[in-house]
């Protein structure tokens, strides 16, 4: 039996060692920066600690770069769980604290409560009981407020375990029954098992063995009725705890039977080597008490070896104490004292006072010469232990009391704040009324100012129209003058030359040739006069569509003359400008000015394009450039864009702005033509 077990252990170590080397090689080839991949690898028990920690840190780096939302917190909890599983307590603490801080910032009480339980687990693992209790208590209050009975019960059981470890048995019992109370009607068999199992252990410590067996049997009944994961090894744990009760009852045969059944559970050594070593040691001890020699002391040694390899200090102390008892019964005083001294030294190094007491008691038995010395130390440490336990119990009570006191103070402050709110409320209402009246006056002034501005804009536009009319009138006069010049001057002279040339056709001598040359010279002069008139006419551009288009054209000409950027413009001839209201034209003109100014001043554009076109019943103005672009969300409050938006709204139109960094900007304004037609009388 022993040889087979040793071979099994050795094979497992070889298997895991080879697997680790293979996985280490494979993981170096992973290139995909995937959160799920890193989280999976960080939880892979086949990997060495350094690898798991590295993958967990990579997962955390990805999570920290993502948005802080509920999914982000779920992933942070996954990271914390992996730190907990690999016993990286600093990493576990940092992740839990980060979640708590973020949850407080977002007022997320659900994740806040969960983070408090994680911090409670951290301080519990570090044996800082008061801090652990404080965090469990904070979580308990939040779950109570959230009506989350499952997590409330879970937190109370965690708190009860902490109280049990500090030998605060009375409050531990209360906490467990409080947990059981809220578990009624909830499908939470795992928590029920934990509660019953803890009560069984508690009553065993208080030497209420019948009640201890009652609750251990309840725990076993839950396991038999439910299919828990075999990895948890709940049945083996309960059988061990029941066997320990029977040891205290000195029913060694029943104790042995329970320990043997526990060891028979499938994959126990692989899943729970700590529990396996405990059962093996307890089985050996029950055999020793039954005066059975089969497998002894090898089973003690085997259990000790496993515990020592797992660094289970408390288990090693118990194992060596049992070995001391065993060799004392065999009258091997030397080895009995040797193991007892080793257990005492080890318990002193851990500062576990209860372990020190147990080993001192054994030293008194195996070393009667120094029994008085050990007895004196036993009394001193026992006094210290009782004071420490009483102090810790008081500390737990003080944490609850002070927290409740803070709540009462907060309640009183809330009452005082309500009174202050009532007092200041009336002043605030009065201030709001005064502000509203003042605001109305300001709005009235703004409305009046807008009306005046619109009138001024209309007058400006009319002045521009009048100016353009004057230009056109002068142009028409100039054209008439040119027509008169052509008719009265050039045509008359050409007619005279033609008549004279006709009369010279009959003259064939030298005088006729000379006169023809003179008339040819006259024709050249007439040609020059026509060319000058033509040049004057060509200085004027194609016939203007109407006054507004001319004004816009002037603006475009100024743009071309003043700036080096390439400027393109197109005006759809299908647009009937005469039917568009002057106010709309003014706003369009101002929008053009503002947009071109933005292109010239900020965009650094090399190309600007302006288009007017008619689309269905809408007038479309599109202004685009190839400049540096801008962030639309950041620039929404700019004065220039606000002015464009306001003028578009005044025209009952819609505004669309498209812009990206280094990709230019496009402004599209659509104004309904039907709504802007002039009414005729």
DSSP-derived pairing of the beta strands 618-625 and 665-672? antiparallel
**Residue in the block written with tokens 């496009």:** 666
Distances in whole angstroms, Cα of residue 615 to Cα of each of 37, 579, 673: 54, 15, 10
Q: Does residue 197 carry a pLDDT above 60? A: yes
Report the DSSP beta bridge partners of residue 567: 608
**Residue in the block written with tokens 């009046």:** 448
If you ran DSSP here, which 8-state letter would residue 226 be given? S
| Residue 293, phi then psi, degrees to nearest 5 | -105, -10
Count of CB atoms situated within 10 Å of the CB of 201 = 20
375-379, 412-416, 450-454, 624-628, range with greatest mean pLDDT:
624-628
> Model pTM?
0.53
Question: Using CA atoms, how far apart are residues 384 and 549, in angstroms rounded to an integer?
Answer: 101
Write down the pLDDT at residue 551: 84
Lowest model confidence (mean pLDDT) among 180-194, 503-517, 588-602: 503-517
562-597 pLDDT, tens digit each = 888 889 999 888 888 877 887 888 888 888 888 888
The CA-CA-CA angle for residues 288, 293, 295, to 5°, reads: 100
Mean pLDDT of 421-430: 81
Of 304 and 539, the one with more pLDDT: 304
Q: Does residue 660 carry a pLDDT above 70? A: yes
If you ran DSSP here, which 8-state letter would residue 503 be given? H
Lowest model confidence (mean pLDDT) among 137-141, 470-474, 621-625: 470-474
Count of CB atoms situated within 10 Å of the CB of 307 = 24
Two structure tokens written together for 24: 């280490």
Taking the CA atoms of 499, 505, 510 and 513 in sequence, report the sign of the dihedral they define: positive
What are the DSSP calls for 67-112, one per residue? Answer: --SHHHHHHHHHHHHHHHHTT-HHHHHHHHHHHHHHHHHTT-HHHH
Write down the pLDDT at residue 390: 61
The gap between the terminal CA atoms of the chain, to the nearest Å, is 117
Write down the pLDDT at residue 284: 93
Write down the pLDDT at residue 198: 92
SS3 648: helix
Q: Does residue 260 carry a pLDDT above 90? A: yes
Please provide the average confidence, as pLDDT, over all residues in the chain: 80
Q: How confident is the model at residue 557 (pLDDT cuts 50, 70, 90)?
A: confident
Count of CB atoms situated within 10 Å of the CB of 99 = 25
Question: Using CA atoms, how far apart are residues 672 and 298, in angstroms rounded to an integer?
Answer: 99
Taking the CA atoms of 136, 137, 138 and 141 in sequence, report the sign of the dihedral they define: positive
**Residue in the block written with tokens 């992996």:** 82
Question: Using CA atoms, how far apart are residues 681 and 670, in angstroms rounded to an integer?
Answer: 28
If you ran DSSP here, which 8-state letter would residue 657 be given? E
Spell out the residues 6+ positions from residue 649 whose beta carbon is closer than 8 angstroms to its own.
none
**Residues 222 and 192: beta-carbon distance below 8 Å:** yes
SS3 562: helix
Question: Using CA atoms, how far apart are residues 261 and 236, in angstroms rounded to an integer?
Answer: 8
Spell out the residues 6+ positions from residue 662 whose beta carbon is closer than 8 angstroms to its own.
628, 629
Question: Using CA atoms, how far apart are residues 336 and 143, in angstroms rounded to an integer?
Answer: 52
What are the DSSP calls for 402-460, one per residue? Answer: HHHHHHHHHHHHHHHHHHHHHHHHHHHHHHHHHHHHHHHHHHHHHHHHHHHHHHHHHHH
Question: Using CA atoms, how far apart are residues 620 and 639, in angstroms rounded to an integer?
Answer: 23
Q: Does residue 428 carry a pLDDT above 90? A: no
Domain with CATH 3.30.565.10 in the chain: 547-676
Of 507 and 183, the one with more pLDDT: 183
Lowest model confidence (mean pLDDT) among 39-48, 130-139, 381-390: 381-390
Mean pLDDT of 506-517: 68
Question: Using CA atoms, how far apart are residues 69 and 106, in angstroms rounded to an integer?
Answer: 9
Question: Using CA atoms, how far apart are residues 261 and 235, in angstroms rounded to an integer?
Answer: 9
Q: Does residue 680 carry a pLDDT above 50? A: no
Write down the pLDDT at residue 28: 36
Mean pLDDT of 86-107: 91
Question: Using CA atoms, how far apart are residues 513 and 505, in angstroms rounded to an integer?
Answer: 10
Cis amide bond preceding 297, omega within 30: yes
Return the half-sphere exposure (C-beta side, CA atoms, 13 A cut-off) of residue 236.
26
Question: Using CA atoms, how far apart are residues 82 and 90, in angstroms rounded to an integer?
Answer: 12
Write down the pLDDT at residue 283: 94
Two structure tokens written together for 627: 């400049």
Lowest model confidence (mean pLDDT) among 138-142, 458-462, 624-628, 666-670: 458-462
C-alpha 210 chain-centroid distance: 53
Q: How confident is the model at residue 8 (pLDDT cuts 50, 70, 90)?
A: very low
**Of 645, 609, 611, 605, residue with least CA distance to 629:** 605
SS3 377: helix
Radius of gyration of the chain (CA): 49
For the CA atoms of 233, 237, 239, 241, the dihedral, rounded to the nearest 10 degrees, stands at -170
Q: How confident is the model at residue 10 (pLDDT cuts 50, 70, 90)?
A: very low
- For 623, the enclosing helix (H) or strand (E) is strand 618-625
Mean pLDDT of 208-229: 87
**Of 236, 148, 145, 132, residue with least CA distance to 188:** 148
Q: Does residue 676 carry a pLDDT above 50? A: no
Write down the pLDDT at residue 574: 85
Q: Determine whether 402 is exposed, middle or buried from the number of CB atoms within 10 Å of its CB (0-12, 13-18, 19+).
A: exposed
Percentage, residues of the chain above pLDDT 90 = 27
Mean pLDDT of 477-497: 63
Spell out the residues 6+ positions from residue 610 whose beta carbon is closer than 8 angstroms to its own.
556, 567, 568, 569, 570, 592, 596, 621, 622, 623
The CA-CA-CA angle for residues 132, 135, 138, to 5°, reads: 150
**Residues 169 and 177: beta-carbon distance below 8 Å:** no
Write down the pLDDT at residue 81: 92
Mean pLDDT of 409-425: 69
Mean pLDDT of 511-533: 71
What are the DSSP calls for 261-274, one per residue? Answer: HHHTSTTHHHH-HH
**Of 659, 660, 677, residue with least CA distance to 668:** 659
Report the DSSP beta bridge partners of residue 571: 612
336-387 pLDDT, tens digit each = 889 988 988 888 888 677 777 788 888 888 888 887 887 787 777 777 766 6
Percentage, residues of the chain above pLDDT 70 = 77
Write down the pLDDT at residue 495: 62
Lowest model confidence (mean pLDDT) among 197-211, 327-341, 431-445, 520-534: 520-534
Beta strands in 541-591 (DSSP E): 566-571
CATH architecture, domain defined by 547-676: 2-Layer Sandwich (3.30)
């Amino acid at each position: 039996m022993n040889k087979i077990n040793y071979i099994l252990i050795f094979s497992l170590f070889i298997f895991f060692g080879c697997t680790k080397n293979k996985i280490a090689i494979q993981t170096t080839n992973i290139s995909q920066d995937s959160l799920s991949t890193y989280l999976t690898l960080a939880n892979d028990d086949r990997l060495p600690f350094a690898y798991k920690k590295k993958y967990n840190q990579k997962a955390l780096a990805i999570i920290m770069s993502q948005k802080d939302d509920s999914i982000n917190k779920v992933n942070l909890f996954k990271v914390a769980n992996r730190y907990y599983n690999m016993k990286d307590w600093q990493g576990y603490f940092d992740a839990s604290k980060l979640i708590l801080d973020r949850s407080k910032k977002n007022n997320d009480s659900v994740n806040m409560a969960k983070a408090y339980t994680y911090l409670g687990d951290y301080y519990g693992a570090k044996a800082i009981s008061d801090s652990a209790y404080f965090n469990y208590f904070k979580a308990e209050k939040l779950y109570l407020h959230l009506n989350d009975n499952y997590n409330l019960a879970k937190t109370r059981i965690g708190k009860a375990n902490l109280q049990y470890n500090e030998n605060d048995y009375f409050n531990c019992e209360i906490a467990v029954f409080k947990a059981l109370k809220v578990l009624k009607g909830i499908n939470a068999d795992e928590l029920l098992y934990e509660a019953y199992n803890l009560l069984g252990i508690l009553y065993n410590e208080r030497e209420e063995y019948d009640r201890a067996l009652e609750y251990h049997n309840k725990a076993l009944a839950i396991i038999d009725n439910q299919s828990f994961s075999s990895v948890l090894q709940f049945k083996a744990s309960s059988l061990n705890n029941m066997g320990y009760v029977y040891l205290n009852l000195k029913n060694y045969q029943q104790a042995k039977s329970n320990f043997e059944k526990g060891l028979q559970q499938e994959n126990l050594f692989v899943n729970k080597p700590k529990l396996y070593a405990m059962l093996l040691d307890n089985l050996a001890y029950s055999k020793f008490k039954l005066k059975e020699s089969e497998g002894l002391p090898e089973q003690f040694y085997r259990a000790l070896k496993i515990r020592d390899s797992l660094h289970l200090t408390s288990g090693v102390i118990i194992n060596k104490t049992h070995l001391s008892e065993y060799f004392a019964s065999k009258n091997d005083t030397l080895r009995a004292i040797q193991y007892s001294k080793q257990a005492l030294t080890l318990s002193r190094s851990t500062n576990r006072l209860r372990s020190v007491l147990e080993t001192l008691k054994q030293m008194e038995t195996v070393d009667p010469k120094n029994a008085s010395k050990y007895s004196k130390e036993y009394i001193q440490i026992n006094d210290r232990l009782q004071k420490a336990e009483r102090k810790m119990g008081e500390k737990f009570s003080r944490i609850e009391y002070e927290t409740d006191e803070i709540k009462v103070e907060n309640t009183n402050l809330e009452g005082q704040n309500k009174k202050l709110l009532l007092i200041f409320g009336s002043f605030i209402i009065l201030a709001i009324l005064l502000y509203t009246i003042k605001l109305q006056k300001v709005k009235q002034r703004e409305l009046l100012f807008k009306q005046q501005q619109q009138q001024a804009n209309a007058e400006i536009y009319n002045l521009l129209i009048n100016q353009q009319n004057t230009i056109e009138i002068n142009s028409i006069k100039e054209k008439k003058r040119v027509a008169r010049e052509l008719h009265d001057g050039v045509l008359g002279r050409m007619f005279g030359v033609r008549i004279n040339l006709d009369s010279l056709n009959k003259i064939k001598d030298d005088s006729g040739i000379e006169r023809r040359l003179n008339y040819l010279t006259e024709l050249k002069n007439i040609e020059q006069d026509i060319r000058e008139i033509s040049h004057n006419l060509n200085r004027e551009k194609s016939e203007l569509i109407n006054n507004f288009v001319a004004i816009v054209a002037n603006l475009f000409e100024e743009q071309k003359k003043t700036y080096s950027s390439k400027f393109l413009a197109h005006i759809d001839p299908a647009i009937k400008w005469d039917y568009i209201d002057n106010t709309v034209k003014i706003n369009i003109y101002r929008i053009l000015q503002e947009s071109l100014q933005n292109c010239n001043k900020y965009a650094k554009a090399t190309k600007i394009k302006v288009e007017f076109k008619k689309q269905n019943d809408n007038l479309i103005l599109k202004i685009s450039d190839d400049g540096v672009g801008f962030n639309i969300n950041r620039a929404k409050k700019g004065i220039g864009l606000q002015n464009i938006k306001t003028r578009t709204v005044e025209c009952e139109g819609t505004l669309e702005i498209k812009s990206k960094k280094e990709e230019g900007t496009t402004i599209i304004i659509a104004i309904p033509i039907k709504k802007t037609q002039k009414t005729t009388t």
